Amino acid sequence: MLKTLKKIEFSENVDLKHFCTIKIGGKGKKIYFPEDIKQISYLIQEANDKNTQFFPLGIGSNIIFGDGLIDKVFIHSKNLKKFNFWEENEYVFLEAEAGVSFKTVVNFVKKYNLEGFENLSGIPATIGGAVAMNAGAFGSEIFDLVEEVKWIDFHGNIRISEKSEIDFGYRNTQFQKGSFVYSAILKLKKSEKNIPEIIKNHLLERNKKQPLDKPTSGSTFKNPENFSAGYLLEKSGLKGKRIGNIGFSEKHSNFLVNYGDAKFKDLIELLETAEKNVLDIFNIKLEREVKIVR
């Protein structure tokens, strides 16, 4: 049942499996749905005052929730979908709030035939989550395009940082350490290529290689230097391996798949088994790309 708290929409005792793409998880004590940056700042300050962690939510494509009741201040971006754009010579700048989906950006770049987003086009993400983790695929990442980020820090202060001021790397940014990405400015280039056709072919290829017909959390582990995590998992006997109703895909070894009412405990056991196997065989310690939230 939705209620209001100082004009901020929220819901209590929410089934968290509806807030992540792999459809696993317990209950969230409260999820808030702010409409602007001031409301987010207020929620973060309130969380600090009560010594409670806050946690940003979007599509939840790389998040897996634990069992039971999770007592965090969840801040969802579903009402943060404003975006605008402007042109400067051969470039187009897009400013998008945290809740703007990649599908919306894809429609925009197809309409104006802009290049730079092709490899990212199939990622199930919002701008906020993608910037926070520096999402990427096929050799590209969102920070190839980011010019500026507006964000709220751990104390509720509103800040604006240019790309050169931001600490980011492979699937990692400073925003994962207690911040909320509110919006970002992306720099895209006007193209003479047929961008809609390139994106169409890219999505077809992605569908062939990834198990997108079932609940999944996307890439499970980060790629170690000089290796593909999928290759390491496959050579370690993990391709298609299941525990209960959770398993590594037969199509792509680095994708976890929920085959129906999968249990969190089975998922953790499978992750730990994969990590141990790869360490034993290759002496490589895999780093998780998925975030476990309990």
Catalytic position from the list 11, 140, 171, 191 = 171
Active site residue 162: no
Q: Report the SS3 class of residue 12.
A: strand
Phi, psi (rounded to 5 degrees) for 146:
-65, 135
- Rounded Cα gap, residues 129 and 135, in angstroms: 8
Q: Spell out a b/e string for 278-289, using b for 16 or more CB atoms within 10 Å of the CB, else e.
A: beeeeebebebb
Q: Which residue type sits at 18?
A: H
Phi, psi (rounded to 5 degrees) for 61:
-80, -15
Catalytic position from the list 141, 148, 275, 289 = 289
Which one, of 99, 113, 279, lies nearest residue 191 by Cα? 113
Dihedral of the alpha carbons of 89, 90, 95, 96, in degrees to the nearest 10: 160
Phi, psi (rounded to 5 degrees) for 246:
-115, 140
Catalytic position from the list 183, 219, 249, 253 = 219
Active site residue 289: yes
Active site residue 219: yes
Q: Which residues are catalytic?
A: 171, 219, 289
